[in-house]
Amino acid sequence: MPDDVQKEELNRLNQEIVELEKRLGGLYWVRKEKYGVVPVEFAPWLDVKLVGRARLLWHRDEIFDNVPKKSKIAEVGILKGDFSRIIFEKAEPHELHLIDNDFSHFDPGSLLNEIDKRVFIHNGDSSTVMQEIFGDNFFDVIYIDADHSYDGVSKDIRAAQRKIKPGGLLAFNDYMNWSPLESREYGVMRAVNELIVSARWPVVFFAFHDLGYHDIVVQRPPAEKPRTRIFHAWRSYWTGGRKSGRKSDLTSGF
């Protein structure tokens, strides 16, 4: 194709992108060579209060240097089991539950002698396994690296939220909107940001990856102690209800 024709075609595509962006404000567009454009949803912005205290880590392996030993941990999405072995070696968990719908590529390696002792295999849809097998507040850490679509990640989040203990950690691999190696959309960032914003779960770790497939770890807020609730109730009474003459709900939550 001659250069002038190529430039004209590129200008036409750019103009189409501008027009599409105007009409579909909530989307941005990723151009694919010779294949037009692909719509990708924005991830919501995060409140600085929820990210300001996060620690930066050099690699995702370091996440499991920072979790309590003898914890109950789940890894959702296993593939060959390489990271499963790293989790087991670094975290020394009391229980490690491996959840996937396909274990055909799984190589237990050093975990072989621990299966059904401290390592447990769960074959099936990840969100269904979490919902049906485990009780609420069961896990100290859940690491999610399974279906990377927005719907898939959102399902895993909804299932995992109730299974994490107060103060526990929910970690996600491939925290991004677009996978450059696969040229396809990832819904991880959007789904995780929605969790952070709606549930107010703060970011505690962010682990870098050299190609941008970063990890992010959020924390379920610890359970509020009764004494703390009493303090907030008294403060509300003295600063609000007492001065205005309104009845104070001092016993709410008990």
Mean pLDDT of 95-122: 96
Domains contained in the chain, CATH given: 7-41 (no CATH), 48-219 (3.40.50.150)
* pLDDT for position 13: 75
Report CA torsion sign: 224, 228, 233, 236.
negative
16 — pLDDT class (breaks 50, 70, 90): confident
For the chain, the average pLDDT equals 86
- As a three-state string, the secondary structure of 18-37 is HHHHHHCCCEEEEECCCCCE
Least reliable range by pLDDT among 30-39, 71-80, 82-91, 212-221? 30-39
φ and ψ of 203, to 5 deg: -80, 130
Report CA torsion sign: 50, 187, 88, 116.
positive
Q: pLDDT digits over 199-231, tens only?
A: 999 999 999 999 999 999 999 999 876 666 565
